[in-house]
Chains A and B, each alone.
Chain A
């Protein structure tokens, strides 16, 4: 404690002198400092108008986008599952530009062909 006391006294004196220097700054410097502060505050307001979107809006936006993305992916998955493609070979049938009626009634044409064959055999 006894070693700290002279230091404290010395430093308090310096602090007071420095504070007095600040209090005695000339009017021109004070005006320029005030001008700088106002410019800085104005820039802060501009920045907040640009980037200060409320966080709940940002969070809500992200949540909405996420929900939409999940919904679309689920819908597409279920759509893909409804496709009657069971084998890779059938992809060609589905992607062909030709008339699909033949493939849709394939069983009928097979039966018709069999019936004709049997008729000929008789």
Chain B
């Protein structure tokens, strides 16, 4: 028998939903921050994606949640990207410069707990370089790379999440890996 609260709402999937959201929230935030370079904007995107996900897809089997959630998030990121492009074009046309270069994302990263300062510095430099390199990727390449290499989605799932063909995913992913190789050459062991 399924568990209900005092008003009859089905609560059986809530712990599962909580676990799922807790598992994806940090990586989702990072992906959004790679795109926006701004923690507040990234949090807004994650929040929008989570609300939309709960509204539309929590009735679907839990095995599909990952792909469906990332589909919404990537869609939100793409929308944000388009709006930002238009906004930047207008600013460029009208010569507006608000002096906001975007916050330094590494201000929000806590110091690693490594006791060795040299190792700490090395790790920090590597993380910085990687973040910069990932940010330099074109949007679609970055999406394909993060979903495939980091989130572990297969080609078909990534295509669903990105709303494009599997062929496009392979192309974007391959180009992303090549670009990152070139950008991170000096940090390779």
Mask for A1-33, Cβ within 8 A of B = 1, else 0?
A: 000000100110111011011101111111011
Does B127 sit within 8 A of A, measured CB to CB? yes
A20 near B181: Cβ-Cβ < 8 Å: no
**How many residues of chain A get a CB closer than 8 Å to chain B's CBs?**
33
Whether A21 contacts B30 by the Cβ 8 Å rule is yes
Pairwise interchain contact B149-A24, C-beta atoms closer than 8 A: no
Contacts of A37 in B (CB 8 A): 18, 21-22, 25, 50
CA distance A14 to B181 in the complex (A): 10
The residues of B that contact A18 with a CB separation of less than 8 Å are 30, 130, 150
Residues of B near any A CB (own CB < 8 A): 5, 7-11, 14, 17-18, 21-22, 25-27, 29-30, 39, 43, 46-47, 50-51, 54-55, 58, 108-112, 123, 126-127, 130-131, 149-150, 177, 180-181, 184, 188-189
Q: Give chain A's interface residues, CB within 8 Å of chain B.
A: 7, 10-11, 13-15, 17-18, 20-22, 24-30, 32-33, 36-37, 39-41, 43-45, 47-49, 52, 54
